[in-house]
Chains A and B, each alone.
Chain A
Amino acid sequence: MIPITYYLILAGILFTIGALGVIARRNAIVVFMSLELMFNAANLVFIAFAAYHKVLFGQIFVFFIMAVAAAEVAVGLAIIVMIFRTKKSINVDEMDALKG
């Protein structure tokens, strides 16, 4: 049986890669995708602890995280499409003005 720390280290590595993607990538859509990777790392930690403590709440919380992430992706991509319509670019370096 695998110790739970292996899953935690894997989730930590995935979270770090996602955080690097959010910081270092300039395409706004790839930034969003790295954000989804961070969500998945957190989901992995929840499911791992739910398995090791035999508690169901971890999996239910992952449900809620998935639902909220889906809603957030929908609204966020709508915003990106709106920004693209005015600025004709999704480079986050060029989104430096609050006026749309």
Chain B
Amino acid sequence: MPLFLQNLPDLLIFGTLAVLAVASALGMLFSRHAVYAALFLVLNFISIAILFLVLGAPFVALAQITVYAGAIMVLFLFVIMLLGSESLPGKSKLRFHRSVAVLFGLALLVEVGVLVITIWGDFPKTTGLSTVYADPTSLGLALFNQYTLPFEITSLILLVGIIGAISLILREHQTGQTSIPINEATGEKKE
């Protein structure tokens, strides 16, 4: 019992963030409108980022907010607004689709639970959360000294992503009249 009271602040923080993360994930799963799903996912990302902060990774937490919630979700919202088909009516083609999905989800959850519980005792009884934060200096030193090759390969992946996305969109402009015709001399729109 005193151990429980000793852990109470950590348990409260973790409990709040965990409930928030699961609730926003369920909100994303069940919302009919795609924009609401995106906003629920942003809330989920922020709660996971605070969990990263609690676990002693402040740089990764802020990188998560900047990259995931700040760039990727904004990209999602742009595409949702661009396509304009936020909510799809009707039901799925398969009659048993939803029940099979729930069955598989339960199976996955039970499997994860069994895996975690059977090795419950094998995890090392450490003092718990690390009190030494991973500051950008040590992360940068490790990233550029030990993990230089994955770093360079990641830059190559990002380059390929940029080229791929732009080349996919550019081909459309050559085939169809998707751009506004402009008079070359004056720069005004042609009628």
A residues within 8 A CB of B123?
3-5, 52
Q: Interface readout for A1-36 with B: 1 if CB under 8 Å, 0 if not? A: 111111111101111111111011111011011101
The B interface is mostly helix, strand or loop, or mixed, namely helix
B residues within 8 A CB of A51?
55-57, 129-130
A69 touching B72, Cβ below 8 Å: yes
Complex interface residues of chain B between 67 and 111 (CB less than 8 A to chain A):
67-68, 71-72, 75-76, 79-80, 82-83, 85, 87-88, 92-93, 97-98, 100-102, 104-105, 108-109
B residues within 8 A CB of A32?
76
Q: Write the chain B residue with the least CB distance to A89.
A: B85
A residues within 8 A CB of B22?
10, 13-14, 17
A9 touching B138, Cβ below 8 Å: no
The answer to the question of A54 belonging to the interface, with a C-beta cut-off of 8 Å to chain B, is yes
**Distance between Cα atoms of A89 and B132 in the complex (Å):** 50
A77 touching B76, Cβ below 8 Å: yes
B104 touching A34, Cβ below 8 Å: no
**Number of contact residues on A: which range applies?**
35 or more
**Distance between Cα atoms of A21 and B142 in the complex (Å):** 36
Known contacts A27-B88, A33-B28, A80-B79: A75-B168 contact under CB 8 Å: yes
Known contacts A48-B55, A54-B132, A72-B161: A18-B25 contact under CB 8 Å: yes
A1 touching B127, Cβ below 8 Å: yes
A21 touching B29, Cβ below 8 Å: yes
B147 touching A1, Cβ below 8 Å: no
Residue pairs across A and B with Cβ atoms less than 8 A apart, 28 shown, are: A1-B10, A5-B120, A7-B55, A9-B113, A12-B112, A13-B112, A20-B29, A20-B105, A24-B29, A27-B85, A27-B88, A34-B29, A36-B68, A40-B68, A43-B48, A44-B52, A50-B55, A60-B142, A62-B57, A63-B154, A66-B68, A67-B158, A70-B161, A72-B161, A74-B161, A77-B75, A79-B168, A84-B83
